[in-house]
Structure 1
Amino acid sequence: MPDIWTVWDAELGYSTTSLLQNGGEQAGQLATHYGAEPMWGISRVRPDGGAHLHIIPHSTWEWRCAEYGIDPDDMTTLLDIVLHEPWIPDPDDALASVQPGAAAVLQETHGLPTCWTPGVPDADRLAAHLERIRLVKQHRVQIFEKTNGSTALILQRLDQVDDRHAELAQKVEQDRAAAEARYTAMEARLDAIEREAVTRTQLTERTKQIVAIVGLLVMVAAAVIALIQLTRG
């Protein structure tokens, strides 16, 4: 008999990222354009009553659509697949053969194509994967909603993620544009300060030259006056 897990809620978060495009001032911080991906936390309860959180990147839905030709609007199928995939046994796992449920799934799915099998139509790949999910629910785990409407709530939140992600992306772009504008204004101010500093330096040098010339003229005038006085004497 399969274990019964229950789902009762889903929360949306985002993976970490750095808004510094060219790397940060912190040691070891690398420039990256990854991160800030929507991450779903599906709250589940194990058969023993323990709480469990299944973290699913939002891009998982896109990957499954690309791998098996699933309609992106068919979130019911996508959710059913993604929630049960962790219990699909790995054929290369030696310990899977000693677990009756896993061994049964492996035996009945032997030879079925995967998304990596070349030359297989989307419909055949999808049918094979849905068969794996069916056998997982038959031999290993079945996931049900804890209360009526929980799955509908999850699907509704999944539908809303694109709008929320677009709002976040827009806010990030606005903050980035504002930071670039401040940086440009700072550069302009620094250029003005540098030009002003050069002008003051030149003025100081010219002032020194004028003072030196005036001093020389005073010395010459004093020498002329002394010469005149000697001549009269």
Structure 2
Amino acid sequence: MSQRVTSRSFRTSQIRTRAAVLAAGLGASVVIGAGVAAAADTTAASGAAGAVQAQAAVQAKAAKAQAAQAEKAAQAKKAAAAKAAKAEKAAKAAAKKKAASWIDPVKSYKLSASFAQNGGRWAHKHSGQDYAVPTGTAVMAAHGGTVVKAGGNGAGDGPAYGNAVVIKHGNGTYSQYAHLSQVDVKVGQVVKTGQKIALSGNTGNSSGPHLHFEIRTTPNYGSAVDPVKFLRANGVTV
């Protein structure tokens, strides 16, 4: 009787032990499963964060490239503007140089008798422009060219001109300088714009010290045109 009770108690104890072990096993499985799920959630979150960072990096790189391109375009625009300004400056310099290719034949003057003016001192209308200056004032070539006339008796144009010089320029244009007190060039001599060629005076048919200046279409008397209009058309302020 006691042996049966003891055996039954032993089996009951074993059943209880197995049940406890099984319960413990199930609990451990639940804990492990929860850990695996948590780890999966962490990996997913990490992956999402990495994707956001990667996208942000791509966007930042694109923005940087766009900024660099904009900077390059701005520099190109600035360079183009500088080039245009340089070209404009060069054009102005060229225009100024062209304008300065003709000059007044004397400095510090007053205009007196003008072209085509009537008067008793001339057989016909006045053939040039008079510049009132003291005797001995430097007379300069109004433009570069070759001396074709030089000397007394109007250099061949008559005693009314006194001492005179005629210079041949391009395009069938000649300049004449008269009533000189001194002639400093010779026929055949090449002169530059602004080069001193004579001194003003009061020789020939003259009522006072001055320079008589003509622009001609030939080297001879009778082919004169208005010298003031001519000089102004070539950029000279008369």
The TM tier, using the shorter chain, reads 0.3 to 0.5
Larger strand proportion of the pair: 2
Using CA pairs under 8 Å that are at least 6 residues apart, name the structure with larger relative contact order, 1 or 2.
1
TM, length-normalised to structure 1? 0.33
Larger helix proportion of the pair: 1
TM, length-normalised to structure 2? 0.33
Bigger radius of gyration among the two: 2
